[in-house]
A and B are shown apart, each in its own frame.
Chain A
Amino acid sequence: MSKNMKELPGTPLSGKELKSEKVITFKWRPNAKYAWSAGIAYGRFLDELKAGRIIGRRCSRCERIIVPPRMFCEHCFVATDEWVYVKDTGTINTFSLSYLDADANRIKDPILVAVIDIDGASPGVGILHLLGNVAPDKIDVGMKVKAVWKPPEEREGSVTDILFWEPLED
């Protein structure tokens, strides 16, 4: 507060008073629902995950193999040319241990998030996923990892068809 202002103007209200609706309140719940179409690249990628495979697209201009696949190369701005299967192993590019869930609730066991450069894709190209079967303090950039898949009958064509990525034994 400034020198000229000794107290805040208005009527102070506590969070408790607001929640008890002792003041006039107006409630509104937005009805905003969407169904995004997957398109060719997302669609094929999810289909392949269901089958236990990871697929990418190759750009013949810059020779990059892009995972997850895209129907155009964002660098060359041309259509990509062919489907390429890549491995389900890779290297941790970067990672973080998240102690908050998506709604900002504090969680005891962190969510282990990583960008994994996929073997068979171009360097610096990979997928965002989870790490598992590893102590958080043992994770490091450059660590080799391998996908742990859901059993085939439980897969539904989702990125969660891979449960997580675990350290790859040498």
Chain B
Amino acid sequence: MFEAAVKAYVDAGVNARKDIGSFLTAAEDYWEGYSIFDEFVPDQLGAVLRSVCTIGGDGLLAISNGAMQIETGLFDVVAVEAHSKASDMLTFDGILSHALDPVYNRAFNAHPYFIAGLEMQRYLHATKTTREQCASVVVKNKHNAMDNPLAAFPADMTVDEIINSTMVSHPLTQRDISPLADGCIVMVLASEKKAKELADHPIWLKGLGWYSDTPWLEARDWSAAGYTNLARDRAYKRAGIKNPRKEIDFAEVDDCFSYKELQHLEALQICESGKAGKLAEAGEFNCDGSFPVNVSGGRLGAGNLLEASALQSVLECVQQLRGHAGKRQIKNAKTAVAQSWRSVPTASGCVAVLSNEL
């Protein structure tokens, strides 16, 4: 965390101990194995005896809160942090099971990925998407990860290898699932005035939205990502996006499970409902396709970073929009959308529209 923070502060040209007014961390005690984990945050961020708070949500929710803190006028520079130290968890599966409703959902003793199985089943049924189309997302994202030096799981795989990998919760196979990785991402946000002073390559937050659906597995929309539909509306409205497919150049979306990328793209109105699978299969979302998606490798290629996954998406958008993405640079990109989901068993997620033009 210290190293990521130093890197971010040098990039932003700020002194943590003087210039940053407020620090936000997206964290969850059970991922850490500490109660009241919040209290362990300040030192590594340069936030001792400064304004600090923890957001119980993903990194994009922390960015949303940081942006709001700036909009209050109280601070002109804030730092946002999220990390994954998944390798410290010996019983990730047990910890995830502990997130289920204790009375109604824990008694059946199925691994919580059954929730992704249920959702994938209903999504495939409702949209006529195929398992092969979902597998093509895995092929694409793991391939994209080959050009991302920070990605943990780059690979060249085939659709058959993914479909025929170990079945986890039908129709979800092992390779449809993003593997856990460790990592830490820190970002610096600033007011418009301050950003213009500080940065050579400021990236502007044009719109933000965050929503949660019911936790109730018994009465949830299993086919569409309702939380993203609403977050999209709020973010697009603020950003003035009316025709997302035309006005946005690329997307980094949650692909914690293969089908989620397709479902989330539909929720973001990058294509019509039920069309994402066909477009993925046709290569439209490849790096060189008409609308690149998860050029970073996404969760499937770069790894599931828990609450930091959302910041991984934002980081890729920032690097692309700055023209600093190296081998995987998308040409002439001006506007991007980053979208997050907190994975099973949640129905919570955020949407951010970013641009290199104010």
Binding-face segment, A15-23, A24-32, A85-93, A144-152: A24-32
Asked if A26 and B102 sit within 8 Å, CB to CB, the answer is yes
- B44 cross-chain contacts in A, Cβ below 8 A: 72
Residue contact B88 to A37, C-beta cutoff 8 Å? yes
Question: Between A and B, how many residue pairs show CB distances below 8 Å?
Answer: 53
* B103 nearest CB neighbor, chain A only: A26
- Pair A34/B90 contact, Cβ less than 8 Å: yes
Interface residues of B in 26-83 (CB under 8 A from A): 30, 33, 42-44, 46, 48
Interface size class of B (residues with CB under 8 A): 20 to 34
Any A CB within 8 A of the CB of B215: no
A26-B102, A32-B33, A72-B2 known; A37 vs B94 contact (CB < 8 Å): no
A115 to B316, CA, bound (A): 45
Chain A: residues with Cβ within 8 Å of the partner, total of 18
**Residue B237 interfacial (CB < 8 Å):** no
Q: Given A37-B87, A74-B42, are A31 and B95 also a contact pair (CB < 8 Å)?
A: yes
- Find out whether the CB atom of A32 lies under 8 angstroms from the CB atom of B88: no
A100 to chain B, nearest CB (A): 17
Q: Which residue of the partner chain B has the closest CB to A37?
A: B88
* Beta-carbon contacts under 8 Å, B86-125 to A: 87-91, 93-95, 97-98, 102-103, 106-107
A60 to chain B, nearest CB (A): 16
Distance in angstroms from A56 CB to nearest chain B CB is 16
Known contacts A72-B2, A74-B42, A74-B48; A30/B90 CB under 8 A:
no
Q: Which residues of chain A have C-beta atoms less than 8 A from B89's C-beta?
A: 33-34
Q: Write the chain B residue with the least CB distance to A77.
A: B46
* Known A37-B88, A76-B17, A77-B17; contact A32-B48, beta-carbon cutoff 8 A: no
8 contacts between A and B (CB under 8 A): A26-B107, A31-B93, A32-B91, A32-B98, A33-B94, A34-B88, A36-B88, A74-B46
> Nearest 7 pairs between A and B by C-beta?
A31-B94, A34-B33, A77-B46, A74-B43, A33-B90, A33-B91, A30-B98
